[in-house]
Amino acid sequence: MRSYGQYCGLARSLEIVGDRWNLLIVRQLLVAPARYRDLIDGLPGIATNLLTDRLRDLEAAGVVERRLAGAGSVVEYALTPWGAELRQPVESLIRWSAPLMVRGPGGDSFRPEWLSLAVPALLGTRVEVRAPATVGLDIGVAALQLQATPSGFEVGPHDGRDLDATVRAEPACVLGLASGALTLNDALALGLVEIDGDESVVRTVFAA
Number of domains in the chain: 2
Q: Which residues contact 37 (CB under 8 A, 6 or more apart)?
A: none
Do residue 68 and residue 134 come from a single domain?
Answer: no
Looking at the structure, do residues 129 and 200 belong to the same domain, yes or no? Answer: yes
User: Could you tell me if residue 100 is inside a domain?
Assistant: no
Nearest Cα residue to 38 out of 67, 75, 7:
75
81 and 23 within one domain: yes
Q: Which SS3 state, helix, strand or coil, does residue 192 take?
A: coil
Distance CA 11, CA 9 (A): 5
Predicted pLDDT of residue 32: 96
Task: Clarify whether residues 54 and 126 are in a common domain.
Answer: no
Q: Which domain holds residue 200?
A: 111-205
Same domain, 119 and 194: yes
Residues of the chain whose pLDDT is less than 50? none
Residue 118 in any domain: the answer is yes
DSSP 107: T
From 43, 70, 85, the end of a domain falls on 85
* CA of residue 108 relative to chain centroid, distance: 16
Helix, strand, or coil (residue 197): strand
SS3 181: coil
Cα distance between residue 66 and residue 77, in whole Å? 5
State how far Cα 96 lies from the chain centre. Answer: 14
Q: What is the pLDDT of residues 87-138, one digit of tens each?
A: 999 999 999 999 999 889 999 999 999 999 999 999 999 999 989 999 999 9
Alpha-carbon span 77 to 36, nearest angstrom: 7
Identify the pLDDT of residue 69: 85
Q: Give a yes or no: residue 81 inside a domain.
A: yes
Residue 151 forms part of a structural domain: yes
Q: Where are the alpha helices (DSSP H) in the chain?
A: 9-17, 22-31, 36-42, 48-60, 81-84, 87-96, 98-101, 115-124, 171-179, 184-189, 199-205
Query: What is the predicted pLDDT for the residue at 207?
Result: 81
CB atoms within 10 A of CB 131: 10
If you write DSSP's letter for every residue of 38-90 in order, what string do you get?
HHHHHSTT--HHHHHHHHHHHHHTTSEEEEE-TTSS-EEEEE-HHHHTTHHHH
